[in-house]
Structure 1
Amino acid sequence: MSPSSTISDFRKVLHDSKNIVAVVGAGMSAASGESISHTARIPTWRGSGGVWKTYDPAAIATPQAFAANPSLVWHHYHAMRERHVASLALLALQATPNPAHFALSLLCIPEFLASLAPAAQFTLVTQNIDGLDVRAVHETVQRFEQGRAAPVPAPRVYEMHGRVLDTLCTACGHREHNPASPLCPALAVSELGSPGAPIPEEDLPRCAHCGGLLRPGVVWFEELPHHSREIWAVVDGADLCLLVGTSSQVQPAAAYAYEVADHGGKVAVFNTERSGGDEDREFLFLGPCAETLPRVLINGE
């Protein structure tokens, strides 16, 4: 049976759910930055025009790649921090959450969640490294806390792949949020995916605590995602999984929806294009997430 795109049917399933998990990918952020440039988009990873369609992850997104050529990796990731893959005028540092982020963040507010699913709890798991999912949640929580006597309970949000604006010291292990632009003078002209001019290791970003070589604070291929144990505990108990803007091709995130389905839960896909496994899902809402999520979760029509 083909998946349904009927919002009323989805809302009935949502209403009866007890444990909801949203697994978010780069398609969630694709529309962010339009306030800066109407033609700009934050690129996805595996969709049409995605980063890994152009650049080899083995050369720029593994611990081995960094050990072999930290200059190349830093050229790529510094440019990723700063601008869109198509060299448009969008600065990633200026990207802001879009309506999709804010629609999903409302599920972190107990009163709003109870209006849709009275007995449910909600967990947000994001594969994104742009920090926009968490920023939207924080802004939404702050808005709802205004004038309240009690704070909103801490949302359950897991950034499993870290953040591109974080740095991690390879010597002392210190991790910090570092939005400096540029991170070091030698990276000022970096191009996404370009080898650029080789940079001596001593001129690459250095740790302010110990002077060690910094690396991007993201989870690379062959590394264990953050919060793996906690995420699997949530997935094991979920009866509804929302797959938002993800092609579900990268493990372990690709396995989450299958695990929910295997123990009898329902899966709803929100994405701009079809991907493998969609025909086995209960619901499929195709289109820009910035349009489908608000329509389905907030407007209900």
Structure 2
Amino acid sequence: MGYGHIVILTGAGISAESGLGTFRDKDGLWTRYNLEDVATPEGFARNPVFVHEFYNARRANLRDARPNAAHEALARLETAWPGDVLIVTQNVDDLHEQAGSRNVIHMHGELSRIRCGACETVSEHRHDLFVDSECADCGVAGTLRPHVVWFGEMPLRMEEIFTALDECDLFVSIGTSGTVYPAAGFVAHVRRFGHARTVELNLDPSEGHSLFAETRYGPASELVPAFVDELLKA
């Protein structure tokens, strides 16, 4: 099938088999942490030490993680496909890039980057961050935070994302709960144009599963390589 523009939305489910915890499952991070404490600007203002400890632990977890077969299959698709393949990920890990994907938009930011509140510089940072850490660019201490979009903040590069959704003729959602907007609304946005094929690949049905023309359920490491093989052989 000659899809010229493929947009793939990925969520925590694609990285779960790499050892990175999901958020909203029964054993997810939000069952162990209050999101208002670790994932809001207000929580960071109240207790920056606690928030830094939370993200330091997640960075340590990411350092031990490796891409799984689902990440690798999407990287293979990007390399082999004659048209455009864009991954829009809700994940803050860099497992897509580790697998070889290059055309990736991190709409919720990146765990391996930090942002300075004084000079607004975003820089790579893969180790622990502390309240008194100094910005390498401006030298100011106490102004650094994870480059992660918290609840109440605007996701990144949304204009680019909606332009890609408007142009795509295949939209695939992988490993998402379908509960967090604006990403949960992407399939409805694509359907308004009526021409794109829509597919959900997930461990279980998402909240918006009925909006997809096709749904397949099972582990991402099995579903995604099989789906990519189908596309490349079509």
Sequence identity (%): 34
TM-score, normalising length from structure 2? 0.90
In structure 1, distance between residues paired with 2:173 and 2:181: 14
The residue that corresponds to 1:93 in the other structure is 63
* Secondary structure class of the residue paired with 2:136: coil
Deviation at 1:132, TM superposition (A): 0.8
User: For the structure 1 residues 232 and 299, does the alpha-carbon distance in structure 2 shift closer, same or farther, using more than 3 Å as the test?
Assistant: closer
Deviation at 1:207, TM superposition (A): 1.7
Q: 1:63 aligns with which of 41, 45, 59?
A: 41
**Structure 1 residue 127 corresponds to structure 2 residue 90:** yes
**Structure 1 residue 162 corresponds to structure 2 residue 109:** yes
Is contact 1:23-1:243 (8 Å) kept? yes
User: What number of residue pairs does the alignment pair up?
Assistant: 229
Which stretches in structure 2 are left out of the alignment for 5+ residues?
Answer: none
The residue that corresponds to 1:290 in the other structure is 221
In structure 2, distance between residues paired with 1:252 and 1:93: 29
* Residue type of the alignment partner of 1:245: G
In structure 2, distance between residues paired with 1:279 and 1:232: 21
* Secondary structure class of the residue paired with 2:216: strand
Is contact 1:267-1:283 (8 Å) kept? yes
Deviation at 1:107, TM superposition (A): 2.2
**Structure 1 residue 105 corresponds to structure 2 residue 61:** no
In structure 1, distance between residues paired with 2:230 and 2:68: 16
For residues 30-69 of structure 1, the aligned pairs below 5 Å read 30-32=16-18, 41-69=19-47
Deviation at 1:48, TM superposition (A): 3.1
The residue that corresponds to 1:152 in the other structure is none
Structure 1 stretches (4+) deviating beyond 3 angstroms?
none
User: For the structure 1 residues 299 and 237, does the alpha-carbon distance in structure 2 shift closer, same or farther, using more than 3 Å as the test?
Assistant: closer
Deviation at 1:289, TM superposition (A): 0.5
User: For the structure 1 residues 299 and 240, does the alpha-carbon distance in structure 2 shift closer, same or farther, using more than 3 Å as the test?
Assistant: closer
* Secondary structure class of the residue paired with 1:31: helix
- Residue by residue over 1:188-208, the C-alpha shift from the partner in whole angstroms, topping out at 9 and shown as x without a partner, is xxxxxxxxxxxxx44xx3323
Deviation at 1:280, TM superposition (A): 3.0
Deviation at 1:284, TM superposition (A): 1.2
Deviation at 1:175, TM superposition (A): 1.5
Is contact 1:172-1:212 (8 Å) kept? no
Is contact 2:10-2:174 (8 Å) kept? yes
Q: 2:141 aligns with which of 196, 200, 212?
A: 212
Deviation at 1:156, TM superposition (A): 3.0
In structure 1, distance between residues paired with 2:122 and 2:5: 32
Deviation at 1:223, TM superposition (A): 1.3
**Structure 1 residue 256 corresponds to structure 2 residue 186:** yes
- Residue by residue over 1:47-80, the C-alpha shift from the partner in whole angstroms, topping out at 9 and shown as x without a partner, is 3322123322121111121122211211211112
In structure 2, distance between residues paired with 1:243 and 1:290: 14
The residue that corresponds to 2:11 in the other structure is 25
Deviation at 1:105, TM superposition (A): 1.3
Deviation at 1:299, TM superposition (A): 6.1
In structure 1, distance between residues paired with 2:68 and 2:20: 11
* Residue type of the alignment partner of 1:165: S
Is contact 1:100-1:294 (8 Å) kept? yes
Q: Which has the higher contact order (CA 8 A, sep 6+)?
A: 1
Deviation at 1:165, TM superposition (A): 1.8
Which stretches in structure 1 are left out of the alignment for 5+ residues?
Answer: 1-14, 33-40, 84-91, 115-119, 139-154, 185-200
